[in-house]
Amino acid sequence: MTDTKIASGTPLVIAAHGTRDESGVAECRALAERVANKLPDVPVELGFVELAEPKIPEAVQAAVAQAPGVSEEPTEGEQSVSAVVVPLMFNTGGHVREDIPEAIDEGRGGARVAYSAPLLPDVRMRKALDRRLAETLAAGEGREQWRARDTAVVLVGRGALVADANASHYTLTRMFWEENDLACVEPAFIQVTRPSVPEALTALHARGAQQIVVQGNFLFPGLLHVWMTEQVQAWQASHPGVEIRIAPVIGDCDEVAEVVVDRYREPLDEVGLGEGAPVYMSGLRLQGRTVLVVGAGHVAERRVARLLDAGADVHVVAPNSGIQLTRMARKGLVNLERRAFQTDDLDGVWFVQALTNDPQVNATVAAEAEKRGIFCVRGDDGRKGSAFTPATQQAGGMTVSVVGDRTPRRSAKIRDEVLRALQG
């Protein structure tokens, strides 16, 4: 159980999507009330991106007005956080990266508002999905018990224009499959991208599946669940030999409420996280200085190219390397050692980037760098490093860099807008 004692009383804003479905809005409000009960000394406001009231700017305004020690006069110097906004969404799609930050800016006035992370990949969200699956497999209402290992599942996500969000749904699908010992799980999306629900059902049928659960990774009742149900019914009408059950939405539950509470707590535990980014902007003169990069994937390849442009003496340590880094090493542009990280790799290093796909390795690199007073960028969790990598571009003799509040695409968008303005 989450420890929910918060001394500050800083208000919380839950930023939800919104729906025209009255039962969906009611269930969303019930979840907000559940969260409020877990935070008895914290004002909790609920705002919606669209389709329901109040909108997020109004919710932020209401929260800021309840902040401890709030003043109508602007203050100089460092401001305390007046509210924390938690997006009630699974992944970093367009609403999380653009719409909600813009709504926060519209509603906060001169106050400092912290913006937290979406709900996934917290394991408790998967536990909530698991529970709904178990209910759907169970006997009842004239139906027999289904065994998980005899059952295939279509796990349906919303679908987004942001590739990262869609890729996260594929990751969730694999975890859901293995954790529940199912026969097979196919990912699908209800809008924007593919595969569609009928396509996923057809793929399972072609593999011989005769009993299928279709489960939407949706928080509340609404059009997404309705569309999913209609698509399933239309497909089943032409495949009468396949048994299909539709799982309920996740809904108002303790698992989701506890994740929201923890997302609320995270920025309050961190000095300087709120408006903008918690960094002191500077520039590193790395020409001729040793920089260590731990990891050799696609992110490392991009960062190494930038470091070489800055004139750094780049050392790369990784068990394996991609084509680009291998070529760089053969040309003598970087020193590449194919092995695991060792603490003495930090000897004589001015700056380090931990860019492996193993969070434990990245944490070890960051901890060892901290001991030695070396600034470290963590590719997997920027907040746990001691430096950030900005969105950077050069044009017309100018270098423009933007460091944002954990929304990389928004940082890149602002960077490009600044460049266009400079170029006239």
Domains and CATH numbers, the chain: 12-118 (3.40.50.1400), 123-247 (3.40.50.1400), 290-389 (3.40.50.720), 392-422 (no CATH)
Going by C-alpha positions, the residue among 165, 149, 160, 213 that lies closest to residue 186 is: 213
Beta carbons within 8 Å of 113's beta carbon, 6+ residues apart: 13, 60, 64, 81, 82, 83, 84, 85, 104, 274, 275
- d(CA 66, CA 253) in angstroms, rounded, equals 27
Indicate the burial class of 29 (C-beta count within 10 angstroms; 0-12, 13-18, 19 or more): middle
The H or E element spanning position 308 is: helix 298-309
Asked if residue 296 has pLDDT above 60, the reply is: yes
Average pLDDT over residues 189-213: 96
Residue-wise pLDDT tens digits, 134-171: 999 999 888 999 999 999 999 999 998 888 889 989 99
Would you state the pLDDT for residue 242?
Answer: 96
pLDDT at 297: 87
Q: Judge contact between 97 and 163, C-beta under 8 A.
A: no
Could you count the other beta carbons within 10 Å of the beta carbon of residue 245? Answer: 17
Taking residues 35-47, what's their average pLDDT? 95
pLDDT digits (tens, 9 = 90+) for 60-114: 999 999 998 654 444 444 468 899 999 999 987 788 888 999 999 999 999 999 9
Q: Give me 209's structure tokens.
A: 């599946």
Preceding omega of 408 cis (within 30 degrees of 0): no
pTM of the model as a whole: 0.64
Residue 393 pLDDT more than 80? Answer: no
Is the pLDDT at 311 greater than 50? The verdict is yes
Cα R_g (the chain), whole angstroms:
24
